[in-house]
Amino acid sequence: MPAVSKQPGGAPPRPKKHTVRIVKPRLGSRVALISLGVAAGAAILFPIGWRVWRGEEDVSPSQRTWSEWQTRWRCEDGHYFYAPGQTGARMCIHIDCDQPAFPVARYSCPQHGPFEVNVLFDLDENDHPKITRLRLIGDSWVSASEGVHCPRCGRRLEYTGDPLLSTARSRNPSGG
């Protein structure tokens, strides 16, 4: 009688279904992600808190730095955003937009109302921002002394400001 040995060839042994996998690396990367997120959040919130704190403190005008001046920017494609002031252009913050942006201020004709005007800032000898060049949107740049003129009546437009810039100014009453 030949010995028929049972061979496990017919059906391969099934692996246990309920295996507990150790997911340590995944957990680790998750923790890393969370702490990264916290760090990023802090990095974003910290300057805001700092500015608020600085704003409540009595900062003398001479200590005020250029970066504390928020202004409104408009890129060549027409996106608007707020960002600290600086000399020259800055890149548009909108995704997929690679256009340069310039600060926008409001200039008004007494007869025809306000116009949006791109301005370029420079720093004076006291490190205070001053407007050196400007242009009506879609027009060409002129010097601040030349000024921009109403496209309807040709009268010279008067600077009537930007909401955020004037807020910064009212908190910063420098005698001149």
Residues in the site for Zn ion, rule: CB under 5 A?
Answer: 75, 77, 79, 92, 94, 97, 99, 109, 111-112, 150, 152-153, 155
Look-up of token digits 């004709």? 109
Q: How far is the CB of 128 from Zn ion (least distance, A)?
A: 28
Residue with smaller CB distance to Zn ion, 160 or 172? 160
For the CB of residue 165, give the shortest distance to Zn ion in the complex, in Å.
Answer: 21
Contact between 162 and 148 (Cβ < 8 Å): no
For Zn ion, the closer of residues 28 and 110 by Cβ is 110
CB 132, min distance to Zn ion, A: 23
Q: Which lies closer to Zn ion via its Cβ, residue 132 or residue 160? A: 160
Which is nearer to Zn ion, 62 or 111 (by Cβ)?
111
- What distances in angstroms separate CA 34 from CA 5, 44, 146, one per listed residue? 57, 15, 55
Give the C-alpha distances (Å, rounded to integers) separating 63 from 11, 56, 58, 119, 125: 82, 14, 10, 24, 14
| Minimum CB–partner distance for residue 151 and Zn ion (Å) | 8
Sign, CA torsion 37/43/49/53? positive
